[in-house]
Chains A and B, each alone.
Chain A
Amino acid sequence: MNAYNFLFKPFQDMRTEDYASVGFKSGLEIHQQLMTEKKLFCRCPAGRYSDKFDAEILRHMRPTLSELGEYDGTALMEFKTKKEIIYEIQRDTVCTYEMDDTPPFMINEEALDIALGIGMLYDCIMIDELHIARKQYLDGSIPTGFQRTTIVGVDGKIPFKGREIRIVQLGLEEDACREVSDIGHRRTYLTDRLGMPLIETVTAPDMRTPQEVAEVAQLLRRIVRSTGHVRTGIGAAREDVNVSVRGGTRVEIKGVPRIPRIPLLTYHEAMRQWNLLRLREELAGRGITTQTLAASTEDITRLFRRTLYQPLQSAVSSGMSVYGVRLNGFRGLLRWQTQTNTYFSQEISDRVRVIACLTTLPNMVDSDSHGQALTSAEWQTVGKAFKASDDDTLVIVWGPAEDAKLGAQEVVVRAREATMGIPSETRQALKDGTNGFERILPGPNRMYPDTDLPPKAVDAERLDRIRAGLPPHITSRERWYREIDVPEDLIERLSVSPYAPLFEKSVKEWGLSSKLASVLLIQYPKRLKKKGLPVPLLDGGMMEDTLKALRDRRMFKEGILPLLEQALVSGQSIGQLLPSPGTILELKESIVQTAESLSNKKMKDDQSLIRLAMGRLMQKWRGRIDGAKVADQLARYLNKETE
């Protein structure tokens, strides 16, 4: 018992030492969509989302063998659920490839270039020859039943807080469907996102606290964004978080949509694993081990003909079955806390829901949980039927006969797993920061070579070409920004902005002030957006023209914002909106005029006269003729006069 006597504190009270004491380890798998015009293995447009669809397809999935001749655990689990999968299809975004009615086309080279570039930013060992694999997903999220995926780099690293976070691998793969619903034996998917190019970044379990996990996620996000070739917005990046504690198992929390949610989710998973390990100790203390666990299941529909508990009543009256489970010696343990306000009974209920397709909640009741709707008399009847003792826990599930039977068996399966520790699972992120069972964690056995596509060699020339176009690492960018006094609050955003290369050019080549250029590139778009202007129209070209106009002193910095605003409202280009440049002839004329108007003025000396003349001339010509040129012409004119 000693090894597990630490008790989790509330989230905000947990300290780094606390996480160290439970042996907290966490890694990330980040899925990031790439900004390409087309999908990865077909020529459908990428990034067009719509909830509308024209047609439906129905499929079932069956487990198949891995390359090494083994079945995958998840695959078998999914087969047990006997799901009917419906795909909703829109003809503009999906072709016969995504429907799995046409073999793949060759890999999208644009996507591959982006992935290779990011691999090099991670300092990965780049793979010489890519092999496309099929990663099986029997949940139906991809109509083929597998995801085409390939590793482009391994063993990378990124600097973090004076140490390194190891990058295990970088993969390039096709995105899956969006789930619409999953009720009973029917799961429905929208296919618009299916097949879009995605990179998967897998880190080693190098993070020591839940906060670090979020920080590393942010860092990785900023690195990939610095290329300017990844998609942004809702769903464009999804994080899976792997968590384990000492003595625990690697568990994956899937599809965290926002990085700020990572710490609490990660904390809860660590807590859950810790508490499940404590539960195992408790069971062992009661003499319940994997070998000695005793349980029985039975159809007890007959006992509930006259129940007043509504869910059971309607189940029985509509011809469904009720199954009971006796877990010998488990008394009280279904109320064993696993996460905040979450108990072991939830682990069981989740399994019953997913495996046996008993998706209408509540899907079970148990004798440990108080305040439930069965009367004590009913529990006694059930107990009698099972010849249960006070030390036992009784669980009741209901549904269509076969599902209810499978559900009852699954209760026992999950109870047995409690004697072993923590099942290898993928878990879904819930809104309150806790997590729920999703499916059994798939292993390497679900990998199969894609016999439809040949291997693809990546030669050094290709890598060199891509490397030449890569942005500098964000940390080196940031160091430079600090050296040249970019405002501190702009540094992080500028370093991953697609405008970062333009900023560098403005400062290094055009001699513009770092403050002015960074404010223009990062802050002004935000200000304009606040005014409700169509900021997406602000393309790189428009920004470059503005910066060039500043370089050429064709405008003042005070004029930038009004100019951009005018450009967005009118749809005119920056060039059209700038005052037209003056000609030498015009300048000469105005020098003559200016000189004449000043001829009556008494001046202290020639220099004062020149200063005054320059001032008047620049008032008229600033932004239209270079000041140096004005000075030069003025000097020439004055020289002539004196001769």
Chain B
Amino acid sequence: MSEANLFKGYKGPALDVLKNFQAQVWSDAKISTAKGQYTGIILPRSETEDPLHIVLKLRSGYNIGILASSVTAIEIQGRKEAHYKIPEKEFPYDPKKPRVKLFGTGGTIASRLDYRTGAVIPAFSPGELYGSVPELADICNIETEKLYGVFSENMGPEQWTGTAEAIGREIAKGVTGIVIGHGTDTMHHTAAILSFMVQNSPVPIVMVGSQRSSDRPSSDAALNLMHSVKTAAESDIAEVMVCMFGPTSDTYGLLHRGTRVRKMHSSYRSTFRTIGDIPIAMVSRDKITPLRRDYKRRREDKNVIINTAFEEKVSIVYYYPNMKPDIIDSLIDNGYRGIVIAGTGLGHVNKPLYPALKRAKDKKIVVYMTVQTLWGYVQMYVYDTGRDMMELGVVPAANMLPEVAYVKLGWALGQTSDLDEIHKIMLTPIAGEITEREPSNGYLILQGGIPEVEEFISKFRK
């Protein structure tokens, strides 16, 4: 073992003291200090913590930090190294059950403790999965493949492309459905780009994650997994979907269309919402209940189209009052080929930006307008300023969500540099990213405190 591992995470005075007494991490030790004695196991220390304390797991299971400078002796009595491992069990095979492929990209759907940072890091293995959620075996046969092990904020074009290609391979092999474990932060970005990169899928492609890591008894991971696997195995919805909690209660999940879904709360379980429309279906452990009929149906063929083109020089600009043109200019100067603006209201930015927008147009940089209100359409004819901007080449992107427009623009620019072609790709809905109409129940943010809403909340579990 390397020295760094022998004293994992320790530095400064604490490291000196441990070395001095030859006390490695995982030692079962009696530590004497000026104040008194403690007995327990010396644990690794998180690297981000101070260099002054030694962490000890007491016999009671509690951890404490001991001021290293107060240590007078360490007597080593033994060693007990932790093996944080979910008991692995081979996933049972039943020839009568459908075959579902589970891809892992990272995220908290399966996780374990990381002593380096003290935080939870993702882990993923099929045996672990069965060891912790044996109910999955009642639904289908599962094969798993760890594509990536990254936090969702580190997902990017490379991972999107790789995932799309992996989906293509599995469909060619005749899988019944695909589940993708993913961190929740950027799950809606990945869902959107996969909706474009994987077209005409004959099977469900279900993205899933968890808002409470699976190392917590109240985690939503297990139920989300069951819902998503059931959807992949049994539903007739052959689209890219996000499957996450409907309410915060452990009751049912929602299947959101990959291009209309967004993470809307930093920590709630029911954080994913379909924006400007309604979800495709509800899913519980017992059944899948469609909420609409206009989804693409499962097919027997394998005629999927994988198109992984992507141009990385694309950006989103979230407009704010008093924005200066140098924001746009710097994108132009740095060679960006496409810009998505999240504008105010119906899709506006201030006048001082106009010269920069003109410069972008002259350089054949495409600029699309979306709305930071998230709900509603861009409408640039209502006010003169909108018309002025269209003159400057800014193209309204209807009710495409800003993040969706961003990934779609990267995908479009990856395929062509012909401006007309790009506009055609951008404005032709491929996977529901632009809808012709917003249903009257597509915008519902219930306002707490109002009597009728309170009545509703008291009747139905949150």
Interface residues of A, Cβ cutoff 8 Å to B? 54-69, 75, 89, 91, 96, 99-103, 125-131, 133-136, 138, 143-146, 149-151, 154-155, 168-169, 171, 443-449, 451, 454-455, 457
Query: Contacts A54-B457, A103-B267, A143-B218 given; 4 further ones with Cβ under 8 A?
Result: A58-B461, A129-B53, A454-B46, A454-B48
Asked if B65 and A130 sit within 8 Å, CB to CB, the answer is yes
How far is the CB of B55 from the nearest CB of chain A, in Å? 7
Residues from chain B with Cβ under 8 Å of A449 in the complex: 63, 113, 118
With A125-B36, A128-B67, A129-B53 as known contacts, state yes or no: A63 contacts B62, CB within 8 Å: no
Interface residues of B, Cβ cutoff 8 Å to A? 35-38, 46, 48-50, 52-53, 55, 57-67, 70, 80, 82-86, 113, 118-120, 132, 211-212, 214-219, 222-223, 248-251, 265, 267-269, 448, 454, 457-458, 461-462
Q: In the complex, which of the residues A127, A135, A455 contacts B49, with contact meaning CB atoms closer than 8 Å?
A: A455
Output the nearest chain A residue to B120 by Cβ-Cβ distance: A451
With A56-B462, A62-B217, A102-B267 as known contacts, state yes or no: A457 contacts B59, CB within 8 Å: no
With A62-B219, A102-B267 as known contacts, state yes or no: A451 contacts B65, CB within 8 Å: no
Q: In the complex, which of the residues B37, B65, B248 contacts A57, with contact meaning CB atoms closer than 8 Å?
A: B248
Nearest 5 interchain pairs by C-beta: A129-B65, A145-B217, A444-B61, A447-B61, A131-B63
Output the nearest chain A residue to B454 by Cβ-Cβ distance: A54
Residues from chain B with Cβ under 8 Å of A127 in the complex: 64-65
How far is the CB of B454 from the nearest CB of chain A, in Å? 6
CA distance A250 to B285 in the complex (A): 41
Residues from chain B with Cβ under 8 Å of A146 in the complex: 216-217
With A54-B458, A69-B82 as known contacts, state yes or no: A101 contacts B269, CB within 8 Å: yes
Q: Can you show 8 pairs from A to B with CB atoms below 8 A apart?
A: A56-B461, A57-B249, A128-B67, A144-B218, A146-B217, A151-B58, A151-B64, A457-B50
Asked if B268 and A69 sit within 8 Å, CB to CB, the answer is no
How far is the CB of B72 from the nearest CB of chain A, in Å? 14
CA distance A58 to B245 in the complex (A): 12
Asked if A58 and B249 sit within 8 Å, CB to CB, the answer is yes
CA distance A444 to B63 in the complex (A): 11
Output the nearest chain A residue to B56 by Cβ-Cβ distance: A131
Q: Which of B70, B132, B215, B269 has most A Cβ within 10 Å?
A: B215
Output the nearest chain A residue to B215 by Cβ-Cβ distance: A64
Q: In the complex, which of the residues B67, B118, B249 contacts A129, with contact meaning CB atoms closer than 8 Å?
A: B67
Q: In the complex, which of the residues B62, B83, B217 contacts A144, with contact meaning CB atoms closer than 8 Å?
A: B217
CA distance A257 to B160 in the complex (A): 59
CA distance A394 to B80 in the complex (A): 46
CA distance A169 to B63 in the complex (A): 12
CA distance A135 to B62 in the complex (A): 9
Residues from chain A with Cβ under 8 Å of B217 in the complex: 61-64, 75, 136, 138, 144-146
Residues from chain A with Cβ under 8 Å of B269 in the complex: 101
Asked if A131 and B458 sit within 8 Å, CB to CB, the answer is no
CA distance A128 to B68 in the complex (A): 10
With A57-B461, A101-B269, A131-B62 as known contacts, state yes or no: A457 contacts B52, CB within 8 Å: yes
Residues from chain B with Cβ under 8 Å of A444 in the complex: 59-61
Output the nearest chain A residue to B36 by Cβ-Cβ distance: A125
Residues from chain B with Cβ under 8 Å of A54 in the complex: 454, 457-458
Asked if A57 and B215 sit within 8 Å, CB to CB, the answer is no
Output the nearest chain B residue to A456 by Cβ-Cβ distance: B65
Asked if B64 and A129 sit within 8 Å, CB to CB, the answer is yes
With A64-B215, A64-B216, A64-B217 as known contacts, state yes or no: A154 contacts B458, CB within 8 Å: no
Residues from chain B with Cβ under 8 Å of A149 in the complex: 62
Asked if B83 and A69 sit within 8 Å, CB to CB, the answer is yes
How far is the CB of B310 from the nearest CB of chain A, in Å? 34
Asked if A125 and B35 sit within 8 Å, CB to CB, the answer is yes
With A68-B84, A125-B36, A128-B70 as known contacts, state yes or no: A169 contacts B219, CB within 8 Å: no
How far is the CB of A454 from the nearest CB of chain B, in Å? 7
Asked if B84 and A69 sit within 8 Å, CB to CB, the answer is yes
Residues from chain A with Cβ under 8 Å of B265 in the complex: 101
Residues from chain B with Cβ under 8 Å of A100 in the complex: 212, 218
CA distance A101 to B216 in the complex (A): 13
With A96-B268, A126-B35 as known contacts, state yes or no: A65 contacts B215, CB within 8 Å: yes
Asked if B53 and A128 sit within 8 Å, CB to CB, the answer is yes
Asked if A445 and B461 sit within 8 Å, CB to CB, the answer is no
Residues from chain B with Cβ under 8 Å of A446 in the complex: 61
Q: Which of A57, A65, A136, A154 has most B Cβ within 10 Å?
A: A65
Residues from chain B with Cβ under 8 Å of A451 in the complex: 113, 118-120
Residues from chain B with Cβ under 8 Å of A66 in the complex: 61
Q: In the complex, which of the residues B58, B70, B222 contacts A154, with contact meaning CB atoms closer than 8 Å?
A: B58
Asked if B61 and A101 sit within 8 Å, CB to CB, the answer is no
Asked if A65 and B249 sit within 8 Å, CB to CB, the answer is no
Q: Which of A62, A125, A138 has most B Cβ within 10 Å?
A: A62
CA distance A56 to B248 in the complex (A): 10
CA distance A143 to B67 in the complex (A): 34
Asked if A169 and B268 sit within 8 Å, CB to CB, the answer is no
Q: In the complex, which of the residues A101, A168, A455 contacts B267, with contact meaning CB atoms closer than 8 Å?
A: A101
Output the nearest chain B residue to A454 by Cβ-Cβ distance: B49
Asked if A69 and B59 sit within 8 Å, CB to CB, the answer is no
Asked if B216 and A144 sit within 8 Å, CB to CB, the answer is yes
Residues from chain B with Cβ under 8 Å of A65 in the complex: 84-86, 215
CA distance A445 to B223 in the complex (A): 24
Residues from chain B with Cβ under 8 Å of A89 in the complex: 462
Residues from chain A with Cβ under 8 Å of B132 in the complex: 62
CA distance A345 to B222 in the complex (A): 38
CA distance A60 to B133 in the complex (A): 13
How far is the CB of A92 from the nearest CB of chain B, in Å? 12
CA distance A455 to B46 in the complex (A): 10
Residues from chain B with Cβ under 8 Å of A135 in the complex: 61
Residues from chain A with Cβ under 8 Å of B85 in the complex: 65, 69
CA distance A89 to B454 in the complex (A): 12
How far is the CB of A136 from the nearest CB of chain B, in Å? 6
CA distance A69 to B128 in the complex (A): 13
How far is the CB of A87 from the nearest CB of chain B, in Å? 9
Residues from chain A with Cβ under 8 Å of B66 in the complex: 128-129
Residues from chain B with Cβ under 8 Å of A102 in the complex: 267-268
CA distance A36 to B458 in the complex (A): 30
CA distance A126 to B60 in the complex (A): 16
Residues from chain A with Cβ under 8 Å of B250 in the complex: 58-60
Q: In the complex, which of the residues A57, A69, A136, A150 contacts B62, with contact meaning CB atoms closer than 8 Å?
A: A150
How far is the CB of B129 from the nearest CB of chain A, in Å? 13
CA distance A136 to B458 in the complex (A): 29
Residues from chain B with Cβ under 8 Å of A151 in the complex: 58, 60, 62, 64
Residues from chain A with Cβ under 8 Å of B59 in the complex: 444
Asked if A154 and B38 sit within 8 Å, CB to CB, the answer is yes
CA distance A138 to B217 in the complex (A): 7
